[in-house]
Structure 1
């Protein structure tokens, strides 16, 4: 009997080790560290995707772990690349701003989340996850929440949900973070926004983070309204 109990405990320990669960505190610490040290010069809509190893995730993404994991990324290079509308591709993270193009004499905008996921199977995120260290957990961050008209619109031409499903090596322990609710969506009926967000949350856990404070947008499929309410960015881009 004792051997069976020990075996069961070992199996439980192994499961816990293989499938870490990022907490709000750890996510907040990571996003705050990146903002303080790598993306502090951005004052417009941008997105990044960052990966950490299984060991780093299991050890809680402490300040020391974040420093060692991200020491190869350079804030100046990130800013120069992204400010020129290029996509920064590092060893642990990829970063993008929005970009514009003209089609049929009309100006269109590619949102940064979409740019990091395009094209299918060979996107910057795909390359990051298939090169170098294996990802144990990951954080996908965007300053403004994924808009209901494009990024989180199910079956839309530019939706990121379908794009995420093409990513090889996307870890089970993954989260999607935003800081401010996209201004146009604050004028939408709230349930339109929540339904759109839920479609994304069903595939990747959605949180809102400000500084080092993070809150989940859904708990047991129930919307957490403080994720939607709160102060908004007064100056927004016209997407």
Structure 2
């Protein structure tokens, strides 16, 4: 079982350490070119906000395995989901959740008091672990499947990757490992509040390998297994040093 991911532009790939089959076996992996087409499909159909002011959202699918491999026909992809219904649901801050036949999606949800704090889209899809929209989606197709989880921004350190926090997604990712089929976890941008942080240890909580693709043909094997550091290409760029003349 694989946990492979690709993203066009700034796409990050995660490989979980417990899945050890060869990535050269194309029958057991997500085709990176096809995955790029899938993410572009999400962005065209379901993206929140505008080009200048995009808003966070996350999507997960559970489709037949062949739809994540070569020669995907987008005309027959996710035909059971209505894009207008998806967008209306995830833009409703009071619920921010869509659950369909092969796709689930979430925006950000206001807390019970309607105050400033919002429940993150990753949390809405993945929790409670074992009885979440994600686990319900995975139960609909258990064999010969491909499950992809895409979040526009990387999971945040303070909430999603905080192992002792009540809104983390780590237990849910462990549950996902138990599902058969090929898997992909993708994010496009570094969460803006984390871009100046050292994310080595935080990203290690998700996966052992984080390949970073600059485009469809150029990826970096990010390592990260055990004591091996994650490759610098897969982390936010270090802050620029400035020379001040006295």
What number of residue pairs does the alignment pair up? Answer: 206
Indicate the structure with greater helix content. Answer: 1
Q: 1:96 to 1:169 in 2, by over 3 A?
A: same
- The separation in 1 between residues aligned to 2:213 and 2:148, in whole angstroms, is 12
**2:103 aligned with 1:93, yes or no?**
yes
Structure 2 CA distance for partners of 1:200 and 1:63, relative to 1, 3 Å:
same
Shift of 1:208: 5.8
Offset at residue 26 of structure 1 (A): 2.6
Counterpart pick for 1:227 among 210, 227, 234: 234
Under a length normalisation based on structure 1, what TM-score does the superposition of the two structures give? 0.72
* Residue 39 (1) aligns with residue 46 (2): yes
| Residues 44, 167 of structure 1: alpha-carbon distance in 2 compared, 3 angstrom cutoff | same
1:197-237 CA distance string (max 9 Å, x none)? 111014xx65667886885673363423233347xxxxxxx
Q: Residues 177 and 207 of structure 1 are in contact (CA less than 8 Å); yes or no, is this contact kept in structure 2?
A: no
Larger radius of gyration: 1
CA positional deviation for 1:128: 0.9
Write out aligned runs for 1:15-164 (5 A).
16=25, 20-36=28-44, 38-42=45-49, 43-57=54-68, 59-60=69-70, 62-64=71-73, 66-85=74-93, 86-101=96-111, 107-132=116-141, 134=143, 136-164=145-173
Aligned pair 1:218/2:222, yes or no? yes
Cα 1:199–1:93 shift into 2, 3 Å: same
Q: How far apart in 2 are the matches of 1:68 and 1:80?
A: 22
Superposed displacement of residue 109, structure 1: 2.4
Unaligned runs of 5+ in 2: 1-20, 238-246
Using CA pairs below 8 Å that are at least 6 residues apart, which structure has the higher relative contact order? 2
